Structure 1
């Protein structure tokens, strides 16, 4: 018996805007990008997640935010 799962992950950019602050590595401006990720199993959507990703416009590094305690 062979079971094959066909999974697909699709990312769609919803919008971009300049974020406050500067890059800790090069001092460049930070860009916030809203991304919607949808996971599909055999063309049926399983889950849809929305995230905000931060990146530097000068050095193109992906930046992370840490929750304040």
Structure 2
């Protein structure tokens, strides 16, 4: 007997705005992105998250903040 599990993650950009500071790798502008992630199992959504990510405009690296 075989079971096939269909899992999918969909991302949607909600907004983009310029963040203060510059990229430590290339000194480019940094943007703050609001991203909506929706995980689905057999076409039914079971996880829904909105997160803020920081991204460099020149080198396209995802940046992390350390407190």
2: CA distance, partners of 1:20 / 1:40: 35
Unaligned stretches of 5+ residues in structure 1: none
Unaligned stretches of 5+ residues in structure 2: none
Count the aligned residue pairs: 67
2:43 matched to 1:43?
Answer: yes
Q: Which moved more, 1:8-17 or 1:55-64?
A: 55-64
- Aligned Cα RMSD in Å? 0.9
TM superposition score normalised by structure 1: 0.89
TM superposition score normalised by structure 2: 0.91
Moved over 4 A (4+): none
